[in-house]
Amino acid sequence: MTIKNLAVAALLAAAVACSREQAHVTKEKVKQKVRDTFDISAPLGQADDTAGREKERFDEQWRQLHSFNPQPAPAAQQQQAVSNEPAEQPLQFVERTKKSKETFKGMTADAINSAPVMIPIKGDVSGPSVLKAQIFLDRLHFSVGALDGRWGRNSAITVWYWQRAHGLPGTGEVDEATFRALARTAGYAQAVTQYTLTADDVKGPFTHIPDSPYEKAKLDCLCYETLREKLAERFHSTEDFLETLNPDVKFSELQAGSTINVPNVRPPVTSDQADIAKIVISLRGNSYNAYDAAGNIIFHAPTTVGSTYDPSPTETLHVVEVVHDPNFHYDPTLYHEVPDSEPDAHLKPGPNSPVGVVWMALSKPHYGMHGTNDPESIGYASSHGCVRLTNWDAAEVSHRITKGVPVAFVDTKHD
């Protein structure tokens, strides 16, 4: 390893510990530990809290946060949205009542796509109407996180930001006017499409991922565990929802040439385009917004931020390094619940890495942005971790930023 690479590795390792609990780990110690490997150290996430997420799903305290005060979008963005919209297409709407209920059960892809839109979309509702709104948002680079055809906090906040950016009242709810605007701007894309699997899709490798970091360290890759998991991530959805769209499919038996129903999500960004000029992260709003040089919001996603993150709203950091497919350095000194005497472990890259498929280091020690091995957790509270995004959202951001892009934090405890 060259002296330059050593310096970069030391900088990255120092920037990724993510919480104030790790402040006792000095830069000198980190430099010593990474001298022979280019890797990332960051606290692991905790066990899945399904009940907690369900409660948070409909928590609307975000509406009281400072950054959610109504503000007009830049005129340039509103004008661009109007000029790029296709001709109006007919849409069928029905009013939602207390007795109304939509379902995916027994519905083909064509039936989902042609189903009337039930409005308003708000609260604890699910079905084709919700999925259509989520797909439009996703394709417009306003991510709702993992698609599941069910409304909630992530979708509501994403709608709020999209409405704000396009001159509509910021309600976080989808009425007819909002749905029509979303549909026009997204080119009336179908919500569900068919996908034919390729040889690369089905070949794997697929690997069981153990819980122990020491067992993980024995693996050649923190790869996908199953084909279902791989396809769910490719199509920005939960694994359960992918099965909902394919009730008669056994994913373990799929072969190249097999056809399945999938959400019609945006294509991945795979080449660098560097159009993001600034990032603003709402800590208590679990929101990640990216702006172009004119101040237009050009990307939004839900994020999960470690509970010990507490930056000052007056400080602005910047991106110092982007590392794709990072190695992960498990350092017990970074976890208050793990004895410091436990040995270190070095984990290979992969989508099931604790930091996902990309690490974006920031200019302050212990701060960074990265992917995740648990996409369904994004947008909800976390006691460990840095600024997490789904792997697909993190990968897109990594191709749209450059070193030096400023990153600001709002809705902090100091606001």
Give the pLDDT confidence of 76-119 residue by residue, as tens digits: 455 455 556 677 888 999 999 988 899 999 999 999 999 999 99
Residue 123, helix vs strand vs coil: coil
State the alpha helices, DSSP H only, in 50-188: 50-57, 75-83, 109-114, 128-139, 153-165, 176-185
The whole-model pTM stands at 0.86
- Identify the residue whose tokens are 């565990």: 225
All domains of the chain in start order, with CATH: 3-49+270-410 (2.40.440.10)
Burial of 349 (0-12, 13-18, 19+ CB in 10 A): buried
Element (H, E) at 9: helix 3-15
End-to-end CA distance of the chain: give it in Å, rounded. Answer: 44
What is the C-alpha to C-alpha distance for residues 131 and 115, in angstroms, rounded to an integer?
11
Residue labelled with tokens 């709003």: 285
- 227-234 and 391-400 helices cross at what angle (nearest 10)? 50
* pLDDT of amino acid 1: 45
Q: What CA–CA distance (Å, rounded) separates 19 from 91? A: 49
pLDDT value of position 119:
97
pLDDT at 165: 94
The answer to whether 268 and 392 are in contact (CB under 8 A) is: yes
Q: In the numeric block, which tokens belong to residue 124?
A: 């604890």
Other residues' Cβ atoms within 10 Å of the Cβ of residue 210: 12
pLDDT for residue 341: 85
Q: What pLDDT is stored for residue 16 in this prediction?
A: 39
The amino acid at residue 46 is Q
pLDDT (tens digit, 0 to 9) for every residue of the chain, 415 residues total?
443 343 334 333 433 344 333 333 333 333 333 333 335 665 555 545 667 777 788 788 888 887 887 655 555 455 455 556 677 888 999 999 988 899 999 999 999 999 999 999 999 999 999 999 999 999 999 999 999 999 999 999 999 999 999 999 999 999 999 999 999 999 999 999 999 999 999 998 999 999 999 999 999 999 999 999 999 999 999 999 999 999 999 999 999 999 999 999 999 999 999 999 999 999 889 999 999 999 999 999 999 987 666 666 567 899 999 999 999 888 888 777 788 888 999 999 999 999 999 999 999 876 789 999 999 999 987 756 689 999 999 999 999 999 999 999 998 876 6
Please, are residues 62 and 285 in contact by the beta-carbon 8 Å criterion? yes
With contact defined as beta carbons under 8 Å apart, do 265 and 235 qualify? yes
DSSP annotation string for 340-402: TTSPPEEE--STTSTTTTEEEEESSTT-EEE--S-GGGTTS-BSS-SEE--HHHHHHHHHH--
Secondary structure (DSSP) of 234-294 = HTTB-HHHHHHH-TT--GGG--TT-EEEEE-PPPP--S------EEEEETTTTEEEEE-TT
CA–CA dist 43, 203 (Å, integer)? 32
Contacts of residue 75, Cβ cutoff 8 Å, sequence gap at least 6: none
In 3D, which of 14, 47, 38 has the Cα closest to residue 383? Answer: 47
Cα–Cα dist 144/289, whole Å? 12
Q: Is 5 exposed, middle or buried (0-12, 13-18, 19+ CB in 10 A)?
A: exposed
Residue 103 CB neighbour total at 10 angstroms: 11
